[in-house]
Amino acid sequence: MTHGTGTGHVSAHPENEKVVVSYDEVFDEYTVETPGGASRQMIYFCPWCGERLPESKRDQWFDEPEAQGLNPLNDPIPEPYKTAAWRLEN
């Protein structure tokens, strides 16, 4: 199984047609969406096989631009930080 790629077991599982599990490549996170997409809940384990999913890179995503003197909430985000490129280059 290849969790963390967005194309692994969780995303391809047939039950994903009933319960929407989304993958965010920027933060390397999986979430479950409520019907209609009104809210999301981050998940830490595959809902079907129980395998541990990758740890979120959200904190690291904020830390790296801040170390470069950028405020990710106010400053323009550099292109690599808009995709998984920022964490795959390291």
Q: Which residues does the chain have with pLDDT short of 70? A: 1-19, 90
- 77, with CB counted inside 10 A (0-12, 13-18, 19+), is middle
The whole-angstrom separation of Cα 72 and Cα 88 is: 19
Distance CA 65, CA 52 (A): 28
Assigned token pair, 71:
């405020």
- What is the model's pLDDT at position 9? 60
Q: Check residue 49 and give its pLDDT.
A: 86
Angle at 31 between CA 84 and CA 80, to 5 degrees: 15
Q: Enumerate the domain spans of the chain.
A: 1-55, 57-90
Residue 2 has a pLDDT of 40
